[in-house]
Amino acid sequence: MSRRWKLALLLTGAFITFMMAETIVLSQELKAPTFSPKDRELIETYYNHLIGALAPGSLDRSPFPLGVEKALVAGSHVPMQLEKDLEPLPAKLESQLTPVTSAYGRYKVGRHVVLMRKADLAIADILKNVAVKETR
Task: List, for residues 74-117, the tens digit of each pLDDT value.
Answer: 999 999 999 998 999 999 999 999 999 889 999 999 889 999 99
pLDDT more than 90, % of the chain: 43
Cut 0.75: pTM above it:
no
The structural architecture, per CATH, of the domain 33-127 is Roll (3.10)
One-letter-per-residue 3-state SS of the chain:
CCHHHHHHHHHHHHHHHHHHHHHHHHHHHHCCCCCCHHHHHHHHHHHHHHHHHCCHHHECCCCCCHHHHHHCCCCCECCHHHHHHCEECCHHHHCCCCCCCCCEEEEEECCEEEEEECCCCEEEEEECCCCCCECC
